[in-house]
Structure 1
């Protein structure tokens, strides 16, 4: 599978160096790398206060290095991909950050991390340093105790302990606060997919029609693989399991993006959570954001902790850590503002002009009658909806017939432009709205139409020769502006539509279609407008002969 990397063995170092050179890394530095783990530190260390160190295997960014900053971590040890850093690299980090106030080491509950961080802490203590270690196992998927893996909840411990240290509390006090917070964390994840380490084959454990509740951040098995369902149902299932062993009372909620979950879906998750029982118990929300990810996993995790005043104060304290997201009061009701009063479809007073009304009827009927044909043309070069877009606009105009100012052509153009702006979809609706809105500004309707076409070109970016409706409109409207008859105009419109059969599309969806696929096929929009001009010419001839 395609990934942005050079080699599995270099991706961590390149990532850390990129962080330090990015907008997020202006306050960060790293120990010289001798080929081991990357040790990220604050540039300006204050050893008069308790230092906070954390870390683990990489592949979960921004955790942990993204949370190094005043008010959170003092340093982070970034091991190889999904592998604990070595004890000597951890010890180097401890030595780099620890002063007389001591150092708290925050460790996720995995065997490798416990052993390597524990070894480094023991060695640091033997050297006479004041060091404490806190284990975080917030995963509830497989039960408590040694099975409770460290997940996104560890970031809350980074923040809570970091704020306590920044406030000047002693090592013993910071450690006690961190342990108390860690003991009150509950996290549960849900994966639509597993993750794929570099140079590995994608996992097939989770089928296309399945999801996994409680999936681990390394792709480990969770509590259950269940059928895939719509978002609301998935959140109901996740919340039910999360709350099954949770304490009574209210919570703070952290919503974590596990990997490649798009922002649009992460935000929809927040809306769906509002429909679950959890929503009635959440006081503050943190996220959604990427705190603890898992490479290319598509998933989300929820972390809850008791809504205690002490925790809120520490979570809300300022920090310079680049990837922290501050808590906000939880709400299930988005703020809405009143919609401005839009102009009516026809600002001018409705008026009659039988001749113009007849011509309008010819236009709308022609577009409605050619809906299927134009759709069939458009299907060969686009998404097959040109005829429907034209016909829908025609039906809307016909519906508003009695409200239109037919006795004033400029006012009529303005009214049609507003109707198209409000009710007609797609690019063509917007383009014709621009045409008629600008045409309305000129009392000479012929010159007004020419101005409208010029604005279509300006805003739309197309020119005659690009295989668009302008290949019909530009010559036809120029003819009208010079005093040409509707019959002359219709002939030019037909010639323009025919010319599009051999043109290479330069703009719009048709520009992505192989030219040979649409050779000999007229542009649907151009064909539709040409047929309107021909229908008007036919009506004019009939009217003249009957006069």
Structure 2
């Protein structure tokens, strides 16, 4: 739970956020006193659709105000319903009432009472108003929900978008109301979260996530869910989809969705899941729906539609597509696809078949990027070479946790994993193959590193191994020759010189060069691998307390750099020590 905020005055937060909308969308206006966002002028007479609720669920609902979507939205305090007076102000003075008003809200007691009171007052003044209370959450079943019914969560935005499109067509209030109810009746949603959220300006609450459990069915205001489980993403999505689609669970089986049915899928970010992780969540949901339920995904919506401030969770909503019954004939999908100028709406996409292949023009043999280097006459003992490399790579892989710890202290924490990924890929390439050509072996290692090792470390090692291959090939002889220590030393010296063309790092700059340079210098002088490894180890030790001149360490404060070696230099030494142990 993140309890730090740039601004902790909740009142100012809300008015500031609402006022920003009129800057982003010149077609909407803001009544700051009553916290109402509304469309300035309608393009043609239509049923006005309004919504609202507590703040903290952005972009819902204020950012959904605009031509093609909501006519107005009323914001309450964070996680609290707006007042009857606020709502009445919107109904009577902010939206067009000539064709009537459709009110769509979520099923929370405060919202139902305040909106309901305002609706009744508007009706008493002769305004035609219908109200729909959406309860799409299956996280809390029938038995526990009792007379209150299901809570409203992110699926509500599908009801609003489709209903607003029907209103924009010029449909009557009766037709608009029926469409809204039809969508709501065929909609199920469930959420999950790793932690509670902290409301700005309020005291901290005790978090439930001490054991890395996930709250399944957690509400959008920190309300308790169905249960807490410890599982991975695959297991979590499986649990959530079962709650949505398993009709054998009579407590939660609300909508009969069969494998042949066409559906609209909404995967909603509660506000605190990174785009990278959220993309993986979306893929897992789609994959399980296709493999486990064979549903026909007609449209997929993914993104932040209804947040819980910066909630570390997501929700899944599934809408069964049924006939709308509109005289104009538009389907639910057509209504969903109708364009809108609302700034917060993310368009739906028609899913296509998943492709794992990349189409490209055929490369000529000279362009083949995976082509093995031409054979040389420089040979080596394959068994011995593979043994040495495996020993070094295995030690490097084992050191990943320590390298990551050091890089977390002084960098961005990715060095250990980058080195591990590269080492594992090289190990896999060595397995079960004969490598008698020294140039081809080093060249192939360079290609594997290029493909599998990210970050600066990957680039440095790829350049070094490519240059090492060239350094060897330049010593090729007219007759078959076993590579000597002198040849290796000369090639290593060439590789280090080539590397200096692409990085100005020198010994003393706190980089892997602090290990690599003394290794190359010593092996060039002594032709002894053990002595060279010891020199690299001393170079690595010298980086403790050395101020960085390159990499992200330059920008990081604190004094952890005084306590640990450079992660890249340390990783190189671990690799060399592993090789040295097998000589």
Matches within 5 A, 1:472-491: 486-487=525-526
CA drift at 1:248: 4.4
Cα RMSD of the aligned pairs, angstroms, is: 4.6
Counterpart-to-counterpart distance in 2, 1:390 and 1:211: 33
What does residue 348 of structure 1 align with?
Answer: 374
Residue 306 of structure 2 is aligned to residue 292 of structure 1: yes
| Greater mean alpha carbon deviation, residues 376-385 or residues 1-10 | 376-385
State the Cα deviation string for residues 494-514 of structure 1 (Å, max 9, x = none): 878745544415246887773
CA drift at 1:46: 2.9
Matches within 5 A, 1:193-232: 193-198=195-200, 199-204=202-207, 208=211, 210-222=213-225, 224-232=226-234
Q: Is the 8 A contact 1:213 1:225 kept in 2?
A: yes
Counterpart-to-counterpart distance in 1, 2:213 and 2:567: 44
CA 1:452 to 1:240, structure 2 compared with 1: closer, same or farther past 3 Å? Answer: same
CA 1:373 to 1:121, structure 2 compared with 1: closer, same or farther past 3 Å? Answer: closer
CA 1:279 to 1:328, structure 2 compared with 1: closer, same or farther past 3 Å? Answer: farther
State the Cα deviation string for residues 44-83 of structure 1 (Å, max 9, x = none): 5335222221111111111101212221112211111111
What does residue 38 of structure 1 align with?
Answer: 35
Residue 508 of structure 2 is aligned to residue 465 of structure 1: yes
What does residue 272 of structure 2 align with?
Answer: 260
Residue 467 of structure 2 is aligned to residue 421 of structure 1: no
CA 1:117 to 1:204, structure 2 compared with 1: closer, same or farther past 3 Å? Answer: same
State the Cα deviation string for residues 335-384 of structure 1 (Å, max 9, x = none): 221487864462313x4335xx3799689848946975997797595577
What does residue 136 of structure 1 align with?
Answer: 134
Residue of 248, 269, 291 corresponding to 2:281: 269
Q: Is the 8 A contact 1:210 1:225 kept in 2?
A: no
Residue of 463, 470, 474 corresponding to 1:434: 463
Counterpart-to-counterpart distance in 1, 2:518 and 2:186: 74
CA 1:393 to 1:100, structure 2 compared with 1: closer, same or farther past 3 Å? Answer: closer
State the Cα deviation string for residues 282-324 of structure 1 (Å, max 9, x = none): 4334333222222243333222232125212211222222232
SS of the counterpart of 2:59? coil
Counterpart-to-counterpart distance in 2, 1:175 and 1:399: 67
Counterpart-to-counterpart distance in 2, 1:266 and 1:387: 26
What does residue 335 of structure 1 align with?
Answer: 355
Q: Is the 8 A contact 2:72 2:90 kept in 1?
A: yes
Counterpart-to-counterpart distance in 1, 2:340 and 2:418: 53
Q: Which runs of 5+ in 2 are unaligned?
A: 248-252, 324-330, 408-414, 476-488
Q: Is the 8 A contact 1:74 1:97 kept in 2?
A: yes
Q: Is the 8 A contact 2:194 2:209 kept in 1?
A: yes
| Greater mean alpha carbon deviation, residues 498-507 or residues 105-114 | 498-507
Counterpart-to-counterpart distance in 1, 2:322 and 2:181: 15
| Greater mean alpha carbon deviation, residues 96-105 or residues 57-66 | 96-105
Q: Is the 8 A contact 1:371 1:390 kept in 2?
A: no
Q: Which runs of 5+ in 1 are unaligned?
A: 540-547
What does residue 239 of structure 1 align with?
Answer: 241
CA drift at 1:527: 5.2
State the Cα deviation string for residues 236-281 of structure 1 (Å, max 9, x = none): 3222222222224423222222342334443333444333586323
Counterpart-to-counterpart distance in 1, 2:356 and 2:565: 50
CA drift at 1:414: 4.4
CA drift at 1:150: 1.9
| Greater mean alpha carbon deviation, residues 194-203 or residues 417-426 | 417-426
CA drift at 1:120: 2.5
CA drift at 1:329: 4.0
What does residue 123 of structure 1 align with?
Answer: 121
SS of the counterpart of 1:78? strand
Counterpart-to-counterpart distance in 1, 2:14 and 2:567: 53
CA 1:235 to 1:422, structure 2 compared with 1: closer, same or farther past 3 Å? Answer: closer
What does residue 182 of structure 1 align with?
Answer: 184
Counterpart-to-counterpart distance in 2, 1:235 and 1:97: 41
- Structure number with bigger Rg: 1
SS of the counterpart of 1:76? strand
Residue of 555, 562, 570 corresponding to 1:524: 570
Counterpart-to-counterpart distance in 2, 1:19 and 1:150: 24
Counterpart-to-counterpart distance in 2, 1:327 and 1:419: 39
Counterpart-to-counterpart distance in 2, 1:170 and 1:523: 72
What does residue 52 of structure 1 align with?
Answer: 49
State the Cα deviation string for residues 217-252 of structure 1 (Å, max 9, x = none): 222233x32432222332232222222222244232
Equivalences, count: 519
Residue 80 of structure 2 is aligned to residue 83 of structure 1: yes
CA 1:328 to 1:448, structure 2 compared with 1: closer, same or farther past 3 Å? Answer: same
CA 1:427 to 1:393, structure 2 compared with 1: closer, same or farther past 3 Å? Answer: farther
TM-score (norm 1): 0.77
SS of the counterpart of 2:18? helix
Q: Is the 8 A contact 1:497 1:522 kept in 2?
A: no
CA 1:91 to 1:448, structure 2 compared with 1: closer, same or farther past 3 Å? Answer: farther
SS of the counterpart of 1:9? helix
CA drift at 1:485: 6.7
